[in-house]
A and B are shown apart, each in its own frame.
Chain A
């Protein structure tokens, strides 16, 4: 996988799903919803500043972003969801409501970091942050701050899910994976293998990055 990584780094060069904003692929409601999302600030309104700092550090490990573009405000998007009180539709036994679970989980991860590294989670080195997250995933964390919430349930059903959904709700992430994006009412015409409508992203096959970039710049 490692040698593939460099090749995959920018799979869809020059593609920006937002270039279709005024196209027949974006209806009025979609523009309204995405415009609001693009305005979400990377600052807390639900969480405290300390909690938000931990969340930002976690998001950097779960969905690392390249330095070459402006980052998706993952923590800000998630904070907004918590503030709006939008829930999933189920709670695994042992997990409190979303906001409470996050407050408790962020506090507990911070406490675990302090106990092991003498500093808060956000100040711990990347590799040690990953180690803490892996222990959380495996259910090995049980500082008193968890207050009965199993760390692996928090990791799978809250932390991982919420961070990943927040990141992939953003047009920047859509462009990164070469998805067509919003598609109403235009939809698609070409459906078969290796079939691409002119308003879809072109993938940069090895040696053909320049061609892909040229095509993607004209996607509307």
Chain B
């Protein structure tokens, strides 16, 4: 039991797991709780891990806390869907609204590395116009960041993750070559390509953060297909095997199984540290700056749970926007069967993509865009989809499952619009730490529904054009969560500024998908990491001119 990462912290006694070598450790600097570090970071996913790494490399003292375990992928990860649910955030949460979100698997992570430990590795840049969606496209809200600045940070992240991708990307302004070559296509990806070619639109190999060539101690992808349940060979360039090892060697401390319950603020209204629970003890880490990077549900939950007399509506919430404008992304699919064997369980699930409807606005009766990708569900996920989305059970289910190897599907990542009524609030129930649990309210707006209708009609044509039979539409699915602490250019219309710094509390920062004003039709992880790299650069710049609290 002593080495059960779910119950005993591993990052203790001056060392942390060496994720590349079974049984080995790397040394880790440790900081005293009563001495303020420059930055304490809550969460070690795409936002927190990236920022921890960059800030430590810039010479700041950093402690990053994560509620989840510190896994050793080579030893801890089974090729098994049930077992690997240990990567998900499965604490109690209540969902409601007209379209309640299904939380847990594809939109959460509870581990050092966050949900990047089980993400599908799809690493897309946003369409430049999305950063000025209100001004240029007429919907949502503008970002306070220029796309050209983001273009440079995207390049930095693509290099840091050795993203594999096509030689030429068909959409958007020029970008540098991807660091590693594209992966070969599996049959599911070829089906996407055939459909696009039949309908006369572009497609390409998906830029993926999984290795197509060796990198250090990590081997190239072996196409085992368990990507979204955790990579057991370290081909996946998750935060756990990229930013975190860099952060450790630059002097950051990681604390696993450390659940932050409250941010402490002083009489001046400044953050002074965080209360966190580790091994059933409430502890306190002093810090000159607090960064919240818990993703779109835990971030607002922590800010709301940290309310004081001075901040009765929660921290950083004078705008009243904390928790609001939660944006999932539409994740509808069209499924069918090919006469040929597809066996889509082999390889990363989304090897081919079309972003056509992200970049083409002609013929749309909705705002926003969507990408769609090839799919490779493993049997449990597929059976659950056939049951709960297709309504099959009994003999019909069992017989349909025997056609598993012939299934082909296309699935969107679709933009949903920000609405203040889609939000995270606190329920009255408490969790295992005694903290009030989140209530997540979600309803699609008419624009969301029109986007979905357009996408399923188009994907149905694409599958029909390649001879897929028995098509059916998976109507109710979502992925990725963003918003709830949006960035903006004014304190009254946003929670943080372009630097991810809260308007209300100058030493409180938010650095994760929560800050997105809009989500676009692209997976958010690359943008979250790019924002974190930018934030680190801004913090370094501000500190040089004395505009950051460092004493």
Contacts and interface: CB of A to CB of B under 8 A. Distances in A.
B380 A169 contact: yes
13 contacts: A29-B76, A29-B78, A89-B103, A90-B95, A137-B391, A161-B387, A177-B401, A186-B224, A187-B221, A187-B222, A187-B223, A193-B342, A195-B187
A174 B79 CA distance: 13
A167 B104 contact: no
A183 B79 CA distance: 6
B402 A178 contact: yes
Given A64-B398, A203-B341, A33 B184 contact: no
A192 B190 contact: yes
A33 B397 contact: no
Interface residues of B, number: 67
B360 interface: no
Interface in A157-183: 157, 160-161, 164-165, 167-169, 173-174, 176-183
A8 interface: yes
Interface in A85-113: 86-93, 97
Given A191-B346, A200-B343, 11 more contacts: A30-B80, A34-B80, A88-B104, A89-B90, A89-B104, A93-B94, A164-B393, A168-B401, A180-B346, A193-B341, A195-B343
B463 to A, nearest CB: 15
Interface string B377-420: 01110011001100101110111011111000000000000000
B242 interface: no
Interface of A: 1, 4-5, 8, 11, 25-30, 32-34, 37, 61-65, 86-93, 97, 130, 133, 137, 156-157, 160-161, 164-165, 167-169, 173-174, 176-196, 200-201, 203
A188 B384 contact: no
A194 B279 CA distance: 51
B80 A182 contact: yes
Nearest to A126: B394
Interface stretch (B81-89, B163-171, B281-289): B81-89
Interface in B323-344: 338, 340-343
Contact of B223 (A11, A61, A88, A189): A189
A190 B89 CA distance: 34
Contacts of B398: 63-65, 176
A135 B402 CA distance: 27
Contacts of A26: 79
Given A180-B346, A191-B187, A89 B397 contact: no
B68 to A, nearest CB: 13
Contacts of B221: 187
B383 to A, nearest CB: 4
Contacts of B233: 184-185, 187
Nearest to B72: A29
Interface of B: 75-83, 85, 88-96, 100-105, 108, 184-187, 190, 221-226, 232-233, 338, 340-343, 345-347, 378-380, 383-384, 387-388, 391, 393-395, 397-399, 401-405, 440
B80 A89 contact: no
Given A164-B397, A168-B383, A203-B341, A185 B403 contact: no
Contacts of B108: 89
Contact of A185 (B82, B100, B232, B388): B232
A176 B402 contact: yes
Given A30-B80, A184-B233, A203-B405, A168 B379 contact: yes
Contacts of B405: 177-179, 201, 203
A89 B224 contact: no
A27 B226 CA distance: 13
Given A178-B404, A183-B79, A184-B232, A91 B383 contact: no
Given A5-B399, A92-B100, A167 B79 contact: no
Contact of A196 (B89, B190, B341): B341
B402 A177 contact: yes
A97 B92 contact: yes
